[in-house]
Amino acid sequence: MAIDLRQLFADRQQQLAAQLSLARHHIGHPGDKGAVSETEWLELLRSFLPSRYCVDKATVIDSCGSTSESIDLVVYDRHHSPLVFEQGGFRYIPAEAVYAVLEVKQSLDAGHVAYAAGKAASVRRLHRTSAAVTDIRGATPIKPPIPILAGLLTTNVGWARDNATEQLLRHVEQLDAEHLLQLVCAADSQAFEISRNERGTQVQASARDNSLVFFLLSFLQRLQQLGTVAPIDFSAYKAAL
Catalytic residue among 62, 77, 96, 103: 103
What is the reported pTM? 0.90
| 103 carries an active-site annotation | yes
Residue 101 belongs to some domain of the structure: yes
Residue 13 belongs to some domain of the structure: no
Which pLDDT belongs to residue 22? Answer: 64
Domain count, the chain: 1
Enumerate long-range contacts of 34-42, CB under 8 Å, 24 or more apart.
Answer: 34/104, 34/105, 34/106, 37/104, 37/106, 37/155, 38/72, 38/73, 38/104, 41/72, 41/73, 41/102, 41/104, 41/153, 42/73
Per-residue pLDDT tens over the stretch 189-216? 899 999 999 999 999 999 887 888 899 9
| 105 carries an active-site annotation | yes
Catalytic residue among 40, 72, 96, 109: 72
Q: Pick the residue with more confidence: 96 or 34?
A: 96
Residue 18 belongs to some domain of the structure: no
Which pLDDT belongs to residue 86? Answer: 83
| 119 carries an active-site annotation | no
- Tell me the CA distances in angstroms from 97 to 28, 34, 111, 145, 146, one per residue in order: 36, 26, 28, 9, 10
Residue 31 belongs to some domain of the structure: no
Which pLDDT belongs to residue 174? Answer: 94
Residue 3 belongs to some domain of the structure: no
Catalytic residue among 62, 77, 105, 119: 105
Residue 105 belongs to some domain of the structure: yes
Per-residue pLDDT tens over the stretch 175-192? 999 999 999 999 888 999
Q: How far is the C-alpha of 156 from the C-alpha of 31, rounded, in Å? A: 17
Residue 233 belongs to some domain of the structure: yes
The H-assigned helical ranges of 185-229 are 211-226
DSSP structural state of residue 155:
S
Residue 19 belongs to some domain of the structure: no
- Give the domain extent around 114: 37-238
